[in-house]
Chain A
């Protein structure tokens, strides 16, 4: 037997290759069973990019079902609350070209909205409470309801069921915590007391800038 192997290099090579493939096959087979991925991670990742307003404007009952649908091949431009930013992120994740928002499903509002109940008009019918996907409305039958503004995603779903039309969607006010600098406009024309712009760039072009014609303290 050994002689046969030693004297037939082809047999030797075949045996060696066969043995290797059997060993690696066993390793791979074991790994496939042992490290099996539970669930569909792509759905989780898509879901993480969606804005979680649960508004249903995409035609699905919530963000997760839409994530599942996207994973199954549905268009990624059906989420108006997310807007172009979400579409871009999804396109990036799925490695597809980013389309523009499908106008059929609604428009993207640049400002955030929250529901507000005009409380003296509320009749306590609890219809909005049942409609809210976020449990963000407090109240009981025949008692005034109110929206927990911090939990409201502005999905709009409570407005329609209200029999007395006492729910408004109001824009969220910017406070010191949420305020942010704007990107400078390209080729901006600054206006006195209007733009809180950067001072260091308020300089004239080189050669002209802050000429030491004043009695500057140049002492070092």
Chain B
């Protein structure tokens, strides 16, 4: 056990004054319970824990208050009994001064512990169970980084661990927490070491590395090992290795290099070199978690500095405010230059003294003004090269300094900035007092942020491109639909044309019949509505050419007339909408909840809107008038009479009835029957086909089909009979020659009505209008009722229509 072990030398390194004696004069102390403890949920490296208690809950010492969030996280426990009075953002010991979520516990002074489950013989337990116990106890690296211990103790299967190193180097000036712990709890350190060795499946070497400036700790450890090896032979394997004091030998990778000669490759963990390195304090915490079931709620911390009257090590509960610790040690703020968390080399100035003690705080340093004065202003780099001589990781600090100043991140990474352990040796030796490490920290932060931003911008690009492609797809779909619709419309148009052609052909037959019946009368084909061309009929009477022409004319009359009515209705609708809009805009602005004050700007806006609406109304009126004029010109031509009726005088009802009559004229009963007959014949054909198919297939529905065919045949027969009868009745009408179709009678009626209107007195006109309006209102009301009954979505529109009609009626009468 005492056989000498080879110790390698750390490259670089410095020998700052140690200043460790003053805190070792007094034994390990304890503080009275502070009245309030602030327990941050992020005391470790990794994801913050999630609070699992509520404000007002009573908690006991050791009770879980923050559950680990994922694997790379650690549980947080209440360090004393009391009541949770707040879960909020509180100051934490962090160089940024950023506040972090913490559980605030008002101590009840009883310090009652939650029920713990001790374990007498951990050797009988599975190592995974042991890891779970350690994880549940919230053990994190107490050396300073706060790495979750359970994660560290579970190396990957590819990493073969042959060496376990307990880190008791404690190289930084002032700090004596581990020294004190090893002196006082040497037996627990040894037990913890054996436990870790068991979990790591008994690696070949078990070393406890201690700097040779801690003879008392070394002696205590050796004694404890001798004591433990009586009961557990494995303890004899543990070697306490004392090596020359040099800063920064306490870094995990540096200690591995000193004790094993292995250098951990850049960008790798120490487990990749086959070594697990654990702080002695962490080993004790893991041991207590397994042996006594005790979660990590306190640690040994050095409280030191000339601004204090008492300088010693204390076992302090997590969550104790640092201001409370300082007060208990006679802190005199007037003598202090600052309060530093950690040692003078790697620590940081505390921005808020109310920040609590956490798992990673191994030293509270309150130096006097002479002891640690404010930094000297930095001078220019003189390229002396002292920094690269002391760098323990063989970097080129001055090059890194230049690149950090120039923010040349690529070159910084090429010069392995991320291997820098921020030990501060370069800053310490710099004759120009350049705060080199601060440059490296800033550069590291910038690079990390830059990488984060890069990641985010890549994600943004993906999202943007996805959105673009989605929009393009939507557009393409819309376009495809539009094309499809256009095609359908064209097809429909074609069909309509075919239909009208067939109707015209049917009419041709009829006309031919007429002409053959009454050629002697010499009457022109007056039966035909010579729409727009009244003269064409007479000279070519009786000739087949006349038939063709009149058929074409009929066709021309049907389509534009029907569509003219539609168009007019549309124009009227537009006008009504425009009027509506105008009315709405003319309403005075009423102050409402969202808009309590009407500003001048709004009034101006309203004026503008009214103007626009008026313009729209005027436009719609003009269009309608133009249209009516156009129609009006056509109508007299159709009527071929009543030249007194000017276009302007023809009003809506007349034009509408004329249009209706025109439409009816196009579909004379005979025509209708004929087209009916055609479609029936088609259906019959199809039905017969089906019957034949069904017969061939021996289908069960054969009977039904045959019945359908019979019915169709019957219908055709009926239609034919009707048509014959109609033709017969047409004959006398045609022979009368002067008479026209029923539709033309309607036209005549309308014309007469129009003529009457012109001659009617104003009063009569008015009365008639009122009557018409009343009937319209009646109809609108009926429709509204129907809509109400059916819960129509357009019910509001109907209602509006009815009220409008009522208003207009009121205006008239």
By a beta-carbon cutoff of 8 Å, the part of chain A in contact with chain B is: 47, 50-54, 62-64, 85, 133-136, 151, 153, 174-176, 178-184, 186-190, 192-206, 210, 212, 214-220
For residue A44, give the distance in angstroms from its CB to the closest CB of chain B.
11
B340 — which chain A residues lie within 8 A by C-beta? 199
- Determine whether the beta carbon of A182 is less than 8 Å from that of B437: no
Q: A204 to B100, alpha carbons, bound, how many Å?
A: 35
A187 touches B377 (CB 8 A): yes
Chain A residue contacts of B96, Cβ below 8 A: 174, 176, 179, 196
Question: Can you name the residue of chain A whose Cβ is closest to the Cβ of B441?
Answer: A181
B372 touches A202 (CB 8 A): yes
| Residues of chain B within 8 A of A63, CB atoms compared | 461, 464
Residues of the B chain whose Cβ atoms lie less than 8 Å from the Cβ of A203: 375-376, 428, 433
Q: A53 and B460 in contact (CB under 8 A), knowing A201-B427, A217-B20, A220-B244?
A: yes
A195 touches B349 (CB 8 A): yes
Q: Are B378's CB and A187's CB within 8 A?
A: yes
Q: Which residues of A contact B494 (CB under 8 A)?
A: none
Q: Which residues does chain A contribute within 8 Å of B463, judged by CB atoms? A: 134-136, 151
Q: In the docked arrangement, what's the CA distance between A134 and B463, Å?
A: 6
Q: A153-B460, A176-B94, A198-B348 are in contact. List 10 more A-B contacts (CB 8 A).
A: A133-B467, A180-B448, A181-B95, A183-B404, A196-B97, A199-B349, A200-B428, A202-B344, A210-B17, A217-B20
Q: A9–B449 Cα gap in the complex (Å)? A: 69
Q: A190-B374, A196-B351, A197-B438 are in contact. Are A54 and B427 (CB under 8 A)?
A: no
- Name A's interface SS: loop
**0/1 interface trace, chain B 335-357, chain A, CB 8 Å (1 if under):** 00110100111111101000000
B348/A199 in contact, CB under 8 A: yes
Q: Which of A62, A175, A198 contacts B427 (CB 8 A)?
A: A198
Q: Do the beta carbons of A205 and B376 come within 8 Å of each other? A: yes
Is B62 in the interface zone, CB < 8 Å from A?
A: no
In the assembly, what is the distance between CA of A8 and CA of B97, in Å?
Answer: 89
Q: A186-B378, A198-B435, A201-B375 are in contact. Are A181 and B442 (CB under 8 A)?
A: yes
Asked if B554 is at the interface of the complex by the 8 Å CB criterion, the answer is no
Q: Give, as a whole number of angstroms, the nearest-CB distance from A167 to chain B.
A: 17
Q: Is B27 an interface residue (CB 8 A)?
A: no
Partner of B442, one of A136, A183, A192: A183
Give bound CA distance, A180 to B372, whole Å.
25
Instruction: Give the distance to chain B from A115, nearest Cβ to Cβ, in Å.
Output: 14
**Contact A205-B20, Cβ < 8 Å, known A54-B460, A135-B463, A135-B467:** no
On whether the beta carbons of A220 and B213 are closer than 8 Å, the reply is yes
Q: What's the interface size class on B, roughly?
A: 35 or more
Given contacts A134-B467, A135-B467, A180-B449, contact A200 B424 (CB under 8 A): yes
Closest 6 CB pairs of A and B: A180-B445, A200-B424, A52-B457, A181-B441, A196-B95, A217-B21
Q: Which residue of A lies closest to B97 (CB)?
A: A196
Alpha-carbon distance between A212 and B343 when the two chains are bound, in angstroms: 18
By the criterion CB–CB under 8 Å, are A184 and B438 in contact?
yes
Which residues of the partner chain A approach B438 to less than 8 Å between Cβ atoms?
Answer: 181, 183-184, 197-198, 201
A134 to B351, CA, bound (A): 39
Q: Are B464 and A134 in contact (CB under 8 A)?
A: yes
B433/A201 in contact, CB under 8 A: yes
Complex CA–CA separation, A63 to B465 (angstroms): 11
Q: Are A193 and B435 in contact (CB under 8 A)?
A: no
> In the complex, which residue of chain B has the Cβ closest to the Cβ of A174?
B98
**B17 near A199: Cβ-Cβ < 8 Å:** no
Between A and B, 9 residue pairs with Cβ closer than 8 Å are A182-B442, A188-B375, A197-B435, A198-B424, A199-B349, A202-B344, A214-B22, A216-B21, A217-B19
Name B365's closest neighbour in chain A (CB-CB): A199
Q: Are A179 and B374 in contact (CB under 8 A)?
A: no
CB pair B378 A184 closer than 8 Å? yes
In the complex the two chains form, is B245's CB within 8 Å of A220's CB?
yes
Report the nearest B residue to A220, measured CB to CB.
Answer: B245
Q: At the interface, yes or no: B303 with Cβ under 8 Å from chain A?
A: no
Q: Contacts of A215 on B, CB cut-off 8 Å?
A: 21-22
Q: Does B18 contact A217, Cβ atoms closer than 8 Å? A: yes
Cα of A18 to Cα of B545 in the assembled complex, Å? 87
Please name all residues of chain B whose beta carbon is closer than 8 Å to the beta carbon of A51 when the two chains form the complex. 453, 457
Roughly how many angstroms separate A218 CA and B407 CA in the complex, as a whole number? 41
Complex alpha-carbon distance, A125 and B468, angstroms: 22
Residues of B within 8 A of A62 (CB): 464, 468
Given known pairs A134-B467, A175-B98, A220-B244, the reply for A199 and B424 (CB within 8 Å) is yes
Cβ of A81 to closest chain B Cβ, rounded Å: 10
B349 surroundings in chain A (CB, below 8 A): 193, 195-197, 199
Contact flags B598-633 to A (C-beta < 8 A → 1, else 0) = 000000000000000000000000000000000000
Interchain CA distance A64-B468 in the complex, whole Å: 12
Interface-centre pick from A175, A187, A203 (highest chain B CB count, 10 A):
A203
Q: Which residue of B lies closest to A183 (CB)?
A: B442
B42 within 8 A of A: yes
Taking the closest CB of chain A, its distance from the CB of B770, in whole angstroms, is: 43
**How far, in whole Å, are A205 and B376 apart by their CA atoms in the complex?**
8
- CB pair B19–A214 under 8 Å, yes or no, is yes
Instruction: Given A134-B464, A215-B21, verify A201-B435 contact (CB < 8 Å).
Output: yes
A196, B446: Cβ atoms under 8 Å?
Answer: no
Closest Cβ of chain A to B18, distance in Å, is 5
A199 touches B344 (CB 8 A): yes
Pair A188/B377 contact, Cβ less than 8 Å: yes
Task: Check A176 against B100 for contact (C-beta < 8 Å).
Answer: yes
Contacts of B427 in A (CB 8 A): 198, 200-201
Q: Shortest Cβ distance from A218 into chain B, in angstroms?
A: 7
A residues in contact with B453, CB < 8 Å? 51
Say yes or no: A181-B445 contact (C-beta < 8 A), given A63-B461, A201-B430.
yes
Contacts of B461 in A (CB 8 A): 47, 52, 63-64
CB-based contact B244/A197 at 8 Å? no
Q: Which of the residues B213, B428, B443 comes within 8 Å of A219, measured between beta carbons? A: B213
The interface residues of chain A lying within 8 Å CB-to-CB of B444 are 180-181
The CA of A182 and the CA of B458, in the complex, are separated in Å by 26
Shortest Cβ distance from residue B729 to the other chain A in the assembled complex, whole angstroms? 61
Contacts of B21 in A (CB 8 A): 215-217
Interface membership of B730, Cβ < 8 A? no
Report the minimal beta-carbon distance from A90 to chain B, rounded to whole angstroms.
14
Kindly state whether residue B522 has any CB partner on chain A within 8 Å: no
In chain B, residues 3-38, which have Cβ atoms closer than 8 Å to a Cβ of chain A? Answer: 16-22
A54, A180, A199, A202: the one within 8 Å of B446 (CB): A180
- Given the complex, which residues of B lie within 8 Å of A136, measured CB to CB? 463
Contacts of A135 in B (CB 8 A): 463, 466-467
Least CB distance from B434 to A in Å reads: 7
Set of chain A residues within 8 Å of B597, measured between Cβ atoms: none
Contact A216 B344 (CB under 8 A): no
Is the CB of B108 closer than 8 A to any CB of chain A?
Answer: no
Interface centre among B371, B428, B438 (most CB of A within 10 A): B438
Contact B431 A206 (CB under 8 A): yes
Q: Per-position contact with A for B346-390: 1 when CB-CB < 8 Å, else 0?
A: 111101000000000000000000011111111000000000000
Asked if B452 CB lies within 8 Å of chain A CBs, one says yes
How far, in whole Å, are A214 and B17 apart by their CA atoms in the complex? 10
A179–B98 CB distance below 8 A: yes
Which B residues are in CB contact (< 8 Å) with A205?
Answer: 376, 431, 433
Cβ A204 vs Cβ B376 within 8 A: yes
Give CA–CA (A52, B453) in the complex, Å: 10
Known: A62-B464, A181-B438, A212-B17. A204 touches B213 (CB 8 A): no
Instruction: List A contacts of B424 (CB < 8 A).
Output: 198-201
Q: Is B445 within 8 A of A52, CB to CB?
A: no
B212 beta carbon closer than 8 Å to chain A: yes
Check B798 for interface membership: any CB of A closer than 8 A: no
A64 to B635, CA, bound (A): 63
**Chain B residues closer than 8 Å to A190, beta-carbon distance:** 374-375
Closest chain A residue to B432, Cβ basis: A205
**Which residues of A are found within 8 Å of B377, using beta-carbon distances?**
187-189
Judge whether A52 and B97 touch: CB under 8 Å. no
Question: Could you say which residues of chain B place their CB within 8 Å of the CB of A54?
Answer: 460, 464
Task: Give the CA-CA distance A217 to B97 in the complex, in Å.
Answer: 33
- Report Cα–Cα, A183/B464, bound state, in Å: 34
